[in-house]
């Protein structure tokens, strides 16, 4: 038992040392910025998001890539572009509908998206994304 623990510790230290020596970005944090985005597939209601990006293009690309990965396709488009604000996505599978709201007040944006969804008579409204991007 003791030898097994020693092996695991040695392996972990080796991985950390290699990552440090090679300049690996395994533990690197992205450059923090004010941009984010929420992308959505209208055909499948799959979605992807990004936040904290230094430029809007990178935020768009990341949200679309995440969405397309979830959708298994290529029909995702950015529905909300964020810069120093919040974005909320509510979805009703029952109604095959999405509700996107953005604003500076995260609580208000969330309650508005939920209210818009419930106004359709849907009983399965759920918040799928609730993000803020700030500098």
Mean pLDDT to the nearest integer, 37-46: 95
Looking at the DSSP assignment, which residues form a beta bridge with residue 40? 47, 77
Indicate whether 110 belongs to any domain.
Answer: yes
Indicate whether 8 belongs to any domain.
Answer: no
Beta carbons within 8 Å of 19's beta carbon, 6+ residues apart: 26, 27
Indicate whether 117 belongs to any domain.
Answer: yes
Indicate whether 56 belongs to any domain.
Answer: yes
Indicate whether 2 belongs to any domain.
Answer: no
Indicate whether 46 belongs to any domain.
Answer: yes
CA distance to 11, 32, 68, 95, per residue, from 44 (Å): 42, 31, 10, 12
18 pLDDT higher than 70:
no
Look up the pTM and report it: 0.74
User: Tell me, what's the pLDDT at 24?
Assistant: 34
Query: Domains in the chain: how many in total?
Result: 1
Q: What is the DSSP string of 86-112?
A: EEEEEEETTTTEEEEEEES-HHHHHHH
For residue 109, give its domain range.
29-133
């Amino acid at each position: 038992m003791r030898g097994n623990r020693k092996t695991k510790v040695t392996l972990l230290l080796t991985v950390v040392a290699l990552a440090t020596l090679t300049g690996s970005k395994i533990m690197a944090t992205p450059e923090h910025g004010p941009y984010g985005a929420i992308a959505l597939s209208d055909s499948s209601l799959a979605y992807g998001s990004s936040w904290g990006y230094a430029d809007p293009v990178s935020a768009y690309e990341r949200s679309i890539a995440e969405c397309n990965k979830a959708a298994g396709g290529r029909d995702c488009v950015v529905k909300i572009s964020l810069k120093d604000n919040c974005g909320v996505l509510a979805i009703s599978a029952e109604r095959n509908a999405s509700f996107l709201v953005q604003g500076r007040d995260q609580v208000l944006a969330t309650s508005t998206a939920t209210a818009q969804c419930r106004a359709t008579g849907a009983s399965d409204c759920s918040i799928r994304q609730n993000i803020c991007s700030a500098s």
